[in-house]
Structure 1
Amino acid sequence: MAITDWPTDERPREKLLARGAEALSDAELLAIFLRTGQQGMTAVDLARKQLTAGGGLRSLLDSSPEVMARLPGMGTARRALLLAALELGRRYLAAPLERGLPLDNPDKAGQLLTARLRGLPYEVFACLFLDNKHRLIAYEQLFQGTIDAAAVYPREVLRRAMEHNAAAVILAHNHPSGVAEPSRSDHAITRRLVEALGLVDIRVLDHLVIGDGGWVSLAARGAL
């Protein structure tokens, strides 16, 4: 049976418009992107097949374009549409990272950095540069590594902070494993950066480790 033969209130697109996106299953939401199925299966059937092959929604959406291309029924047009939607979502979540935003609440920084860094398949070290009232000057991703490490150079962080005339910084990096627990090396690089930036009176307000379930604040752990 084609989706067009389903009761109107059960078709994914109509169901979304009538009940809201939260009423749809993962397969139904994905089916809206796919629009059509394949011979002998509806778009929802195809979406379920892709979710199974991709290891679930999170794994599918976090996969590289090359891996995504190997999913059943995921042609170039569908892949481009899905990747564009993912990037729109990321940009929407990160839109508050605008110059002049006061980061007076630790949760605010955590939410913004999580929107940028969570789910990346490689490690990224980033920095929020702040003025003396803790308003955002700039956000930069300074270093990118492999799946389990990123080389961080204090001299480069110091150089960028001085170029931005920053009075304070918030450091952050993600753990591709999804586990946000700080490692020994995370504590070590934090101490090195606190010392290097402190030489020119630039404060390190926090270092956030981003994982799948949220973030861990080294400042809250008393590690700064």
Structure 2
Amino acid sequence: MKTQTMTIHELPEEIRPRERLLMNGPKSLATYELLAILLRTGTQKLNALQLGMKVLHHFDSLYELKTASHTDFLQIEGIGPAKAVEIQAAIEFGNRLNSTFIAKKGLITSSEDAGQFFTEALQDFQQEHVLVYFLNTKNEIIKQETVFIGSINTSVAHPREIFKAAVRCSAVSLIIGHNHPSGNPQPSQADIDFTKRLIACGELIGIDVLDHIIVGQERFLSLREYGAFLS
């Protein structure tokens, strides 16, 4: 009597690879489960999980699978031209992701450097813009983001959004800056209070706030040098 292979959709939900990925993240899946998601369907004899395991067992190592040719994949029963192409495309996509790097947008080693960057970016605005430079361990700028437009106050400027952006780009530190359209870079009490609040939040989650630069007309002020970073 011919037995019917149980499809993935017939398996208990807690062991289906897509559902497990959604619940626990991609790192929780075995390699054959990741392959099963790529393959999507199996054959009459094997479901996608079993086929993924068969593909892995066909090769002596993941490196051999990674460097396999289209013909190599076609030698596996259950892998036709379409599935072979899908596997090769996924491997190449992974290779390209692995070779990427975060584009560096400049190096900041002092308040003077920071002031120059913020002055160039903010000096021409007629409304206050709040800009953040996110830095790596070498103080290279890996991302810059205007976090909001308008005067700094606690109802508008919330550290949560700034640190969410920092975590997303894996920043280890940041420098914030904004412009005073009046041309006078003298900090307001709101500027100082917000800076201290930002520093405190950064200390809690391990992301250093290195400085807060205020850009005026043809000059800037560093709140670190001004003393606002002192407790």
**Structure-2-length-normalised TM-score:** 0.52
User: Which portions of structure 1, spanning 4 or more consecutive aligned residues, are displaced by more than 2 angstroms?
Assistant: 148-151
- Whether 1:185 and 2:185 are equivalent positions in the alignment is no
Counterpart AA for 2:178? H
Question: Hey, what does 2:142 align to over in structure 1?
Answer: 137
The answer for the alignment partner of 2:175 in structure 1 is: 170
Q: CA deviation at 1:166?
A: 0.6
Distance 1:170 1:149 in 2: 15
Residue type at the aligned position of 1:115: E
Give, in angstroms, the shift of residue 201 of structure 1. 0.8
CA distance in 2, matches of 1:152, 1:166: 19
Q: Which residue of 1 aligns with 2:219?
A: 214
Shift in Å, 1:105: 2.7
1:223 to 2:228 alignment: yes
Match of 2:166 in 1: 161
Match of 2:126 in 1: 121
Query: 1:155 and 1:110 mapped to 2: Cα distance?
Result: 24
Q: Deviations over 1:43-96 (max 9, x none)?
A: xxxxxxxxxxxxxxxxxxxxxxxxxxxxxxxxxxxxxxxxxxxxxxxxxxxxxx
Contact 1:119 1:178 in 2 (8 A): no
2:207 aligned with 1:202, yes or no? yes
Work out the number of aligned pairs and report it.
125
Q: CA deviation at 1:149?
A: 5.0
Kept in 1, the 8 Å contact 2:152–2:190? The answer is no
Root-mean-square deviation (CA, aligned residues, Å) is 1.5
The aligned runs of 1:1-224 (5 Å cut-off) are 99=104, 101-145=106-150, 148-149=151-152, 151-224=156-229
Gapped regions of structure 1 (runs ≥ 5): 1-97
